[in-house]
Amino acid sequence: MSANAQPKAIVLLSGGLDSATTLAIARDQGFACHALSVDYGQRHRAELDAARRVADSLGVTGQTVIPIGLDRIGGSALTDPAIAVPEQPGGGIPITYVPARNTVLLGLALGLAEAVSASDIFIGVNAIDYSGYPDCRPEFIARFQALAEVATKAAVEGAAVRVHTPLIDLTKADIIRRGMALGVDFALTVSCYQADREGRACGVCDSCRLRAEGFRAAAVADPTRYR
Amino acid sequence: MSANAQPKAIVLLSGGLDSATTLAIARDQGFACHALSVDYGQRHRAELDAARRVADSLGVTGQTVIPIGLDRIGGSALTDPAIAVPEQPGGGIPITYVPARNTVLLGLALGLAEAVSASDIFIGVNAIDYSGYPDCRPEFIARFQALAEVATKAAVEGAAVRVHTPLIDLTKADIIRRGMALGVDFALTVSCYQADREGRACGVCDSCRLRAEGFRAAAVADPTRYR
């Protein structure tokens, strides 16, 4: 396949374990990948540094970082410094849920796809070992796909973007095994909701807990740097 | 109706003629309105100043301005300084179309609605006297509504946001008449795609042309300040 014939995909890349594996899968499927990272005023800025390292490590045709002031919206422990990140598992949708985050992220990916003529979008949402966010579920993705089919100039011209969620039915252990098989260096990734500036993890937030359990279940040494 | 019983709405307010009328309609329908303006690196920054004046003039319970670097995406004369705003009507979807803009704007409105417990969103899209953007059509809005019904914590809990498009079937002249009847001061609004710093209009872009024709058709004196 010549370079020109290679289909192009936008891959949402946060710098965490899931999105790094998603990028590796998209590349393995033959896509030329353009990474999209969003600087949404999140506490875990270290993830953005991780996103750059992961993009460099796996190889992308480009990386776009879009700043967006989601802190003006607030309503989440990830964007509002006045709300603490919970350090114990709780019931229901947790306070780390960022209102409408994936709607906004996929909207930006849709715009970037149109601007760079990408035909596909990859997002590492997962509905198994996850925090219960409403916008990580298959029904949300299906409705976003339906929206994408009327939302853009490309769609009107008959070439709507396809949204891929290769992790949606995998356990965290499956994701880790898949990523390792594709050469992802998880030591580069940061999942913690309150990582320090050097990307060292707290070990107690929901995201750290799911990640550590994943490595245990996969029987793989956990490369996470804890503080 | 007590102040507490008044339903709350997010109104997307660009500072143009359409969104000002939309805010007036939402208020007239009894909503306590919170304005959402997006600073998306657009050329027509004067619109943001206009949005503040319109919000002050009509009365809102709050205004949130979210900065978002859509210039990183580009692909539009409104976000990329290297692309000229067309000064003649053309065929097809014009270069002033911002890729996936309304998907992103409605996503942000959805997030803000959730954060401030608003039950409704108003957006001044119009499918009659408009520039042919795909994300101003009724089918786009219907699919966004379907998405909103699964996208948020509020939706999961049975209280999905309702998206209102009170202008969608109106001509520009109808919008102007409606706005005037509700006390909108159109002299405060800026529609031009390339207004100068003082908000003075070019008179030749697609948006200026539609606006001027609207005032003519409504047989209303045009208060637009041209440069």
The predicted pLDDT at position B2 comes to: 47
Rounded alpha-carbon distances, angstroms, from residue B142 to A201, B90, B96, B145: 42, 28, 23, 5
Residues in chain B: 227
- b/e map of B37-70 (b: 16 or more CB within 10 Å)? bbbbbbbbbbbbbbbbbbbebbebeebbebebbb
B115–A75 C-beta distance less than 8 A: yes
Q: How far is A13 from B162, CA to CA, in rounded Å?
A: 31
Q: How confident is the model at residue B1 (pLDDT cuts 50, 70, 90)?
A: very low
Q: In this complex, is the C-beta atom of B94 within 8 Å of any C-beta atom belonging to chain A? A: no
Q: How far is B147 from B163, CA to CA, in rounded Å?
A: 11
Backbone angles phi, psi at A62, to 5 degrees: -175, 165
Q: In this complex, is the C-beta atom of B69 within 8 Å of any C-beta atom belonging to chain A? A: yes
Task: Report pLDDT digits (tens) over A82-139.
Answer: 888 888 877 788 888 888 999 999 999 999 999 999 999 999 999 887 778 899 999 9
pLDDT at B116 over 80: yes
What does pTM read for this prediction?
A: 0.93
Q: Which runs of consecutive H residues, i.e. helices, occur in chain A?
A: 17-28, 46-58, 101-116, 138-151, 153-156, 172-181, 206-218
pLDDT at A148 over 80: yes
pLDDT at A1 over 60: no
The conformation of residue A143, written as its DSSP 8-state character, comes to: H
Spacing of C-alpha B102 from chain mean position? 9
Collect all residues of chain B within an 8 Å Cβ-Cβ radius of residue A64.
72-73
CB contacts under 8 A, A 147-176 vs B, are 147, 149-153, 155-156
pLDDT at A78 over 50: yes
- A vs B: CB pairs below 8 A: 154
Rounded alpha-carbon distances, angstroms, from residue A58 to A18, A19, A82: 14, 12, 36
B93–A100 C-beta distance less than 8 A: no
The predicted pLDDT at position A89 comes to: 76
- CB contact at 8 A, A122 and A111: no
Average pLDDT, chain B: 91
Q: How far is A224 from A208, CA to CA, in rounded Å?
A: 9
Collect all residues of chain A within an 8 Å Cβ-Cβ radius of residue B113.
99
Token digits of residue B98: 């911002």
Q: In this complex, is the C-beta atom of A47 within 8 Å of any C-beta atom belonging to chain B? A: no
**ipTM, 2 dp:** 0.92
B66–A111 C-beta distance less than 8 A: no
Spacing of C-alpha B127 from chain mean position? 13
Top pLDDT among B128 and B39 is at: B39
Q: Which residues contact A131 (CB under 8 A, 6 or more apart)?
A: A93, A94, A96, A97, A206, A207, A210
Region B7-25: mean pLDDT is 97
Residues in chain A: 227
Does residue A46 sit in helix, strand or coil?
helix
CB contacts under 8 A, A 178-207 vs B, are none
Collect all residues of chain B within an 8 Å Cβ-Cβ radius of residue A107.
100, 103-104, 106-107
Collect all residues of chain B within an 8 Å Cβ-Cβ radius of residue A151.
100, 102-103, 134-135, 140, 143
pLDDT at B129 over 80: no
Enter the CATH code of domain B3-218.
Answer: 3.40.50.620
Backbone angles phi, psi at A36, to 5 degrees: -120, 120
Task: List chain B domain ranges.
Answer: 3-218
Collect all residues of chain B within an 8 Å Cβ-Cβ radius of residue A65.
72
Helix (H), strand (E) at residue A13:
none
User: Which residue in chain A has the smallest CA separation from B108?
Assistant: A104
